[in-house]
Amino acid sequence: MSSVTETWLAEWFIHNYIQDCAQLCPDSVSQLFDNVRTNEDLQQAVSEVVQARLSSFIFESHNYYAQAQFMILRAVSVYSLDVQRSLFWMTHLAAFDRDLSIYFTAVTFLHVARKITRKSLEDELLDVLATFCLESNDLRRCRNARLSSSLSLSQAAMLMKVVVNNSRSTVQLIEIELSKAYLYRALRYVDSDSIYCLANVYLAVLYYTTGQYQTAMDHCTLVTWLQDHSQCSSCVVQGQLLPKIGSDIDTVLGLAVFYQYVRTDALSQQEVQHVTVFTTELFAHYLCIRCLSVRQLMSTTFADEIQQHQKCFSESSEMFITDVLAFKLVHSTTYPVDFRKLNCVKDQAKSVMSGELDTSELVELLQQSAVEHLTTCRQLEAQKSIGTVVTTDYEAMYAYKRGDYHRCLQLSAHNVRSLIAGPKSLSHVHALPEFIQLMDDDIVSLLGLMSIVNPLYTDHNDNVTITQLHLSLYLMTQCRMKLRHSVTSLAQTLDYIENALHTRELLTLDGLLLKLTEQKILSYISVNNDPL
């Protein structure tokens, strides 16, 4: 090696490596090596190779990323998900690629939302969502929880504990709905009065948290109706699981902890075993009274509830310091006298007897959270792409689905301007069932016709791909027509469509969607009798 000099090594590297790389670049780059005369020429040629290969690498990486997204989406759509598959995907994607892990979470939420809409919240899907929220890998626990009221109650408690520690967000609202579902599952397999009462009290707390006060009172009533509470001493309401339901409970729990400190440290007494807990029956009465006061409803029913709380308190053979403090707070509060009349709460309790969760709210939250995750994916994608990537296309789709046409038009028009003015975009949306639920009926019909013509059209990525520009043009057109804009505002859109239809790389679904958009504009013009 003593004969190897820096000059010799540089020449070897250029002839054996860089020139080979240059052959993979455009001709304008590879031909630079034919005219190398000086060091400056060589440096320029090498710089062009490096830049060309870097651009090529980014392009290829984006293609691989898009293919990976399609494979994840199609695997979930075709083969569905269970807890075991979800754990496999979560574990490997988290270790492999953060962006794809976020994308998988979004796809999972859309998949479960689609399944719930068609059927109901089955046990397997409930456990799949809990696996994501709790980041748990205890497969056996999930399966055993389906057959046990105590384990279902435990799963609900774990989710409620997460809710207490998190700030209010879409994911937290999903966790609240899942907690409700597990509590209903506990009631489905209930084998003791203690679990029956505790599950209903926790359901009342969660419904109170989401502002559904009548349903919260209904569940409280189911607890107070129970004649024999002798078994309920084995299950208590855990203060650490209670979400924010008012400053009163925070005060009670804080005083209970202080009371414990005074007993053990200042007075050297034995530590109390249960400090931040409530008995189920007394807490049900307290929460029912709180629901009545929040709704500003006063009648003989309210007075009866106060009286029943006093009776239950005086007859209780066992209670905690928290029960005493809560009782004191209720009966030292002055309530307004001009409350409206309240229908009998007991008549309303029939609505909760079915023991089933209304999943419409959960479906909406899953779709909203999925859009938030997908927007995060777009933002990460935009940081790495050499082309233009708009980050609000999924938000625009969701706004259109919810009927917020002004918001959708604002986002879509901005996206169209950005995509036309900037470098060519490589990003797109897949039109598989998970994403179809975010699209309107006309696109769904278009996909249905494609399926009739070729039932296997979804097997290939190119057949189910809509580029960001063409989707944004469609949404912008739809919103303008929904908002009854003048036909002159659609003139430029027709020009954009005409140019796009003559693009050589136009994909199947892109072409069909552009023709559909064009026909919609022409029909709109015809109906309004306002020629361009």
Number of domains in the chain: 2
The tokens describing 55, both together, are 């651009």
Residue 294 inside a domain? The answer is: no
What angle, rounded to 10 degrees, do the helices at 321-331 and 280-294 form?
30
Residue after which a domain boundary falls, among 22, 50, 70: 70
Question: By percentage, how much of the chain surpasses pLDDT 70?
Answer: 87
pLDDT 10s digits, 475-499:
999 999 999 998 888 888 898 898 8
pLDDT 10s digits, 61-99:
777 888 899 999 999 998 888 888 999 999 899 888 889
Give the integer Cα–Cα distance in Å for 44 and 486: 54
Question: By percentage, how much of the chain surpasses pLDDT 90?
Answer: 35
pLDDT 10s digits, 390-429:
999 999 999 999 999 999 999 999 999 999 988 877 789 9
| Res 245: pLDDT | 78
Q: How many helices (H) and strands (E) does the chain have?
A: 25, 4
pLDDT 10s digits, 459-471:
787 788 999 999 9
376 pLDDT higher than 70: yes
**3-state percent breakdown (helix, strand, coil) of the chain, nearest 5:** 75, 0, 25
The tokens describing 128, both together, are 């799949």
Structural domain span for residue 50: 6-70
DSSP 18: I
Q: Write the CB contacts of 290 (distance below 8 Å, at least 6 apart in sequence).
A: 208, 245, 246, 248, 330
| Res 274: pLDDT | 65
What average pLDDT is seen over the chain?
83
Residue 246 inside a domain? The answer is: no
348 pLDDT higher than 50: no
DSSP 465: E
Lowest mean pLDDT among 159-163, 272-276, 358-362, 381-385: 272-276
Residue 379 inside a domain? The answer is: no
Nearest to 489 by CA among 529, 521, 518: 521
Give the confidence band of 300 by pLDDT, cuts at 50, 70, 90: low
Q: Write the CB contacts of 65 (distance below 8 Å, at least 6 apart in sequence).
A: 99, 100, 381
Give the confidence band of 343 by pLDDT, cuts at 50, 70, 90: very low
The answer to whether residues 400 and 407 touch, using CB atoms and an 8 Å cutoff, is no
The predicted model gives 298-317 an average pLDDT of 77
Give the integer Cα–Cα distance in Å for 405 and 440: 13
Give the integer Cα–Cα distance in Å for 236 and 211: 24
Residue after which a domain boundary falls, among 26, 55, 70: 70
pLDDT 10s digits, 92-112:
998 888 899 999 999 999 999
Residue after which a domain boundary falls, among 70, 94, 118: 70
Residue 132 inside a domain? The answer is: no
Residue 412 vs residues 113, 212, 323, 405, 465: alpha-carbon distances, Å: 25, 35, 55, 10, 18
Strand partners, 430: 465
Other Cβ atoms within 10 Å of 448 Cβ, number: 12
DSSP one-letter string for 222-272: HHHH-S--GGGGG--EEGGG-----HHHHHHHHHHHHHHHIIIIIS-PPPP
Residue 272 inside a domain? The answer is: no
The tokens describing 362, both together, are 């959960």
**Residues of 248-277 as b/e, b for ≥16 C-beta within 10 angstroms?**
ebeebbeebeebbeebeeeeeeeeeeebbb
Residue 211 vs residues 182, 234, 291, 352, 421: alpha-carbon distances, Å: 19, 29, 9, 16, 46
Residue 443 inside a domain? The answer is: yes
| Res 216: pLDDT | 92
Q: Which long-range contacts (CB under 8 A, 24 or more apart) does 356-362 make?
A: 356/120, 356/184, 357/121, 357/177, 357/180, 357/181, 357/184, 359/116, 359/120, 359/121, 359/177, 361/177, 361/210, 362/113, 362/116, 362/121, 362/174, 362/177, 362/178, 362/181
Could you tell me how far CA 430 lies from the centroid of its own chain? 18
